[in-house]
Amino acid sequence: MYFMALATDYDGTLAHDGLVTASTLSALKKLKKSGRKLILVTGRELPDLKEVFPELGLFDKVVAENGALIYTPASEEERTISLSPSADFVDRLKKRGVKPLSVGRSIVATWEPHQATVLDVIKELGLELEIIFNKGAVMILPSGINKATGLAAALKDLRLSPHNVVGVGDAENDHAFLRASGCSVAVANALPAVKETADLVTKEARGKGVEELIGKLIKQDHLIARKRLRGVLLGTANGKKVYLSPIETVLIAGSSGIGKSTLATALTERLAEKGLQFCIFDPEGDYDGLEGAVPLGDGSTTPSKEQLLELIEKPSTNIVVNGLALKVDERPDFFAELLPGLGSVRYRTARPHWLIIDEAHHLLPKRREDTRAVLSLELPGTVLITVHPEAISTGVLRLVTAVIALGPKAKGVIKTFCKEAGLEAPKSIPSPKGDRVLLWRPQDGKKPFTVKAIEPDQSLKRHSRKYAEGELDEAGSFYFTGPEKAMNLRAHNLIIFAQMAEGIDDKTWEYHLRAGDYSKWFRQQIRDKELARETADAEKDKRLSPEESRKRVLEAVRRRYTAPATAPET
């Protein structure tokens, strides 16, 4: 499920002439049995609401007095989120002949045409009050209090995000909370202005319209999310903006150092702008220092499952789970241990809205075919990032709904994905050039097309510890073999590289030096262009003795990665 709660107005939406029919109550009960929450958002005062609607206990939260009062039916707890009305204000209204006049815990209400008198009294007393209209009703509340602020308070109690709420209403005072909902719905009898701004309009009026909406939510939750929600901006194609749907499973793949993490960083910035929660699984420390996210773990400390689950409960908190302290062969088990708890949170709240899994071939390898059971089809918003799509679990690849391929081997990415997922490759695949990427959605029947991808505002810092102390995989490591291939010494990080470089003989050192192997490794695997350039200068300078060239290269490595307070630029 993507939509975890229904927030509904009462009069004119749920109720007709103040009453809710048996069939509408039955639909509400059915929706609640699906695991969703029910929130009533009304301008009515609570005592009046309890009297007219005895089935109030069906709701998880009630936002009364047009947002000023939060009521929890299960515990009967009441709390106001604004000040009580001024006695002087109420007395002045009475003296000016304003009646009927209702005074709640925070709200003061009357009817048109008394709004002019109300406004005069507010000005006379210099009060920070607002007038809100509702089909002839005139409601006076402290400035800034409306149904949207009340809904936000209720959702905070429920630990839900407004993005995962469907709001339904009919009148002027519903605009605020409908705009604050992930999907806004107007019943057929709603005012034209409400219909114009709603994402959906029901065919039926009032309670029947709510019943219609509930039926769609239960049967077409993901379809509504895909068609009605804009999602996260990926870039532009032919002058039009291209978005990733909030329920998509996305594969980002391409050659090493081609910009996959940079694109992911740009996506997280767009997610943060929209208030969508994300969690990044970062095995190699690529997202160290990512703005707007809380880091868990580092080069020497393994992230805590308990901390992760605690942080995720807060809808506004984004997390980067750094697995650099884990060995490569430890990462799949660690990730598998985290997924059940994370899956439970997502099943209950649909958060984090996006789960970004970098180096997905490490965390979801093909040899672990239990991963599809853990990454349920009910979990929307997942991004898999990899150099090796063929090494990812086949079950997981079959969940992918969008492929983003980068670099000169983008065509090959599409073909490899199709082979592994058991799909027929598209006949025509364009080649992305420059800053463009290739996007293909296998299920929509359209050809792959190129997109000018968004760029991040922040520069993505590479974590120096990843390369200095971490463990690069076999493909990413450096191997000292010598000219006769008599040895096979693997350096899986820069500290090991430096130690081995000092211990090997001059002949072996010079063999790799003159072949340009050191600068090639620094450029392609360490992805440090400046270190590669400095090393290449030493490789080309044939006047340097083995001792001098060795000293120059290792000094460059230590200055950038093992000296205090260094951070390589890439």
The per-residue pLDDT for range 377-409, each reduced to its tens digit, is 445 799 999 999 998 988 889 889 999 999 888
CB 223 within 8 A of CB 443: no
139 pLDDT above the threshold of 80: yes
How far is it, in rounded angstroms, from Cα 404 to Cα 563? 38
What DSSP state is assigned to residue 567?
-
pLDDT of residue 379: 52
pTM exceeds 0.75 for this model: yes
Read off the pLDDT of residues 165-217 as tens digits, 9 standing for 90 and up: 999 999 999 999 999 999 999 999 999 999 999 999 999 999 999 999 999 99
How far is it, in rounded angstroms, from Cα 402 to Cα 415? 14
How far is it, in rounded angstroms, from Cα 305 to Cα 310? 9
18 pLDDT above the threshold of 70: yes
pLDDT of residue 371: 53
324 pLDDT above the threshold of 90: no
CA 143 to chain centre: 32
Q: What is the mean pLDDT of residues 540-552?
A: 93
Q: What is the mean pLDDT of residues 293-305?
A: 87
pLDDT of residue 62: 98
Phi-psi region of 235 (alpha: psi -120 to 50; beta: other; left: phi over 0): left
pLDDT of residue 222: 87
Q: Cβ–Cβ contacts within 10 Å for residue 353, how many?
A: 26
Q: Any bridge partners for residue 253, and if so which?
A: 386, 405
566 pLDDT above the threshold of 50: no
Run of H or E residues at 236: strand 232-237
In 3D space, the residue among 214, 174, 181, 211 whose CA is nearest the CA of residue 195 turns out to be 174
466 pLDDT above the threshold of 90: no
What DSSP state is assigned to residue 182?
S
CB 396 within 8 A of CB 372: yes
Buried b (16+ CB within 10 A) or exposed e, 5-38: bbbbbbbbbbbbeeebbeebbebbeebbeeebbb
pLDDT of residue 464: 59
SS3 524: helix
pLDDT above 90 coverage of the chain, percent = 59
How many CA atoms within 13 Å lie on the side-chain side of 510?
Answer: 11
Read off the pLDDT of residues 1-15 as tens digits, 9 standing for 90 and up: 899 999 999 999 999
525 pLDDT above the threshold of 80: yes
pLDDT of residue 301: 86
375 pLDDT above the threshold of 80: no
370 pLDDT above the threshold of 60: no
373 pLDDT above the threshold of 80: no
pLDDT above 70 coverage of the chain, percent = 94
Read off the pLDDT of residues 58-70 as tens digits, 9 standing for 90 and up: 999 999 999 999 9
Tokens 């089909």 belong to 135
pLDDT of residue 418: 94
pLDDT of residue 151: 97
565 pLDDT above the threshold of 70: no
Token couple for 299: 């080069």
How far is it, in rounded angstroms, from Cα 377 to Cα 402? 14
Q: What are phi and psi of 413, to 5 degrees?
A: -60, -45
Kindly report whether the peptide bond that precedes residue 283 is cis, defined as omega within 30 degrees of 0.
no
What does the mean pLDDT of the chain come to?
Answer: 89
**What is each CA distance from 289 to 217, 282, 325, 464, 518, in whole angstroms?**
39, 12, 16, 12, 28
